[in-house]
Amino acid sequence: MGDRNEVGGEGLMLTQNWMYDAIIYIYALSLLFYFSDFAQPNRSAKRMGTGLLLFVWGLQTLFLAGKLIEQPAVPLLSVLEFMFLLSWLLVTISLLISLFFKIEYIVFIVNVIGFAVLLLNLFSSPIGEQRLEHWQIVKEILILHVAFAICSFAAFTIGSIFSGMYMYLHRKLKEKQWDDSVRRLPSLEKIDRYANLSIMIGTPLLILSLAVAISSIYMEEKLNLLLDVKVLLTLVAAICYVYYFIKRVSLKHTGYRLARWALLAYTLMVLNFAVNSFSTFHHWIWE
């Protein structure tokens, strides 16, 4: 994936890789169709968007498969690989949602994030291509740590979108603002159920990712790294999500407050992603 960072190459080529370019252009086109449906219900535009998204997914899968054949290692150890895989995961989840559930807006919002991740990847510095392979710990453990993290991040992204939807619809219904978005969104009960399910998947994955990372730190005997800002922030986010479940089970909070809590936890997750520069050992992102 190192060759995809030559922004503004020749003409309309964003990168030196035609497949990466095609993914970005088709993804953008698909989002435009979805946006048309988002702004005003338009089923044919939505169908078109889904078709293009399916094509994007196919290209992304081919791209990843190509990488695997090129270098027979799991493409996870650089920021670019991480982000590309996250984007692929979000596209996969959104396609599954559109296939099995009829939830308006969600596919568009998930893919706006998926596309943003791809674009961030495109405009990030080439120095970011440094891989984590310089770590001496067992490589398999490292891959496991990143894989769990990526999956939990995707699940939390979906969960936070549902939480945001919940807060939006709740406010609209409380304030009696009846409009097209209220008509099209799923019910509060359904949104709450999906948000809970996503967070329920994400939390154990995050804890597993943390556990793997902490055990590897022990193996490396670098205990001082436990006080690293990234480790601490991840711990806080994990605690927030656990607290979310405790409150949920205790039935003391309303759905609205739980949704707010879930969004707060997700903000910590995003912040966690952004503070890599301050981390002593996660500075593989945007150095």
Partner 1 sequence: MHILAVGLNYRTAPVEVRERFAIAEQALPEALQQLKATKSVLECVIVATCNRTEIYVVVDRLHMCGHFIRSFMEKWFQIPRQEFTNYLYIYEDDRALEHLFQVTSGLDSMVIGETQILGQMKDAFLLAQEYGATGTWFNMLFKQAITMAKRAHAETTIGEAAVSVSYAAVELGKRIFGQFSKKKVLILGAGKMSELTVKHLYANGADEVIVANRTLTRAEQLASKFNGRACSIQGGISLLHEVDIVISSTGADGFVLDVKQVQESMKKRKNRPIFMIDIAVPRDLDPAIGSIPNVFLYDIDDLEGIVESNLELRRKEAMKIDAMIAKEIEAFRQWLKTLGVSPVIYALQQKSAQIHQDTMESLFKKLPDLDERQAKVIRKLTKSIVNQMLHDPILRIKEMAVEKNGDEAIEMFTQIFALEEQMEKAEAEEQRQNKALEQPSSPEMRMNERSSAGSKSGFAWATVTK
Q: Is there a contact between 55 and 121 (Cβ–Cβ < 8 Å)?
A: no
CB of 213 to partner 1, least distance (A): 37
Torsion of CA 175, 180, 93, 65, to 10 degrees: -140
- Residue closer to partner 1, measured from CB, 82 or 194: 194
Burial class of residue 220 in the structure, from the number of CB atoms within 10 Å of its CB (0-12 exposed, 13-18 middle, 19+ buried) = middle
- Residue closer to partner 1, measured from CB, 134 or 176: 176
- Residue closer to partner 1, measured from CB, 102 or 134: 102
Provide the CA 105 distance to its chain's centre, in angstroms: 17
Q: Which residue has the tokens 């998926």?
A: 114
CB of 179 to partner 1, least distance (A): 7
CB of 189 to partner 1, least distance (A): 5
Q: Which residue has the tokens 């949602």?
A: 97
User: What CA–CA distance (Å, rounded) separates 67 from 89?
Assistant: 16
- Residue closer to partner 1, measured from CB, 61 or 254: 254
- Residue closer to partner 1, measured from CB, 77 or 185: 185
- Residue closer to partner 1, measured from CB, 127 or 257: 257
User: HSE-up of 190 (CA within 13 Å, CB side)?
Assistant: 10
CB of 100 to partner 1, least distance (A): 16
Helices 188-220 + 255-274 axis angle, to 10? 40
Please give the residue ranges that form the binding site for partner 1 (CB under 8 A): 41-44, 169, 173-174, 176, 178-180, 182-183, 185-190, 251-256
CB of 46 to partner 1, least distance (A): 10
Neighbours of 179 (CB within 10 A): 8
CB of 51 to partner 1, least distance (A): 16
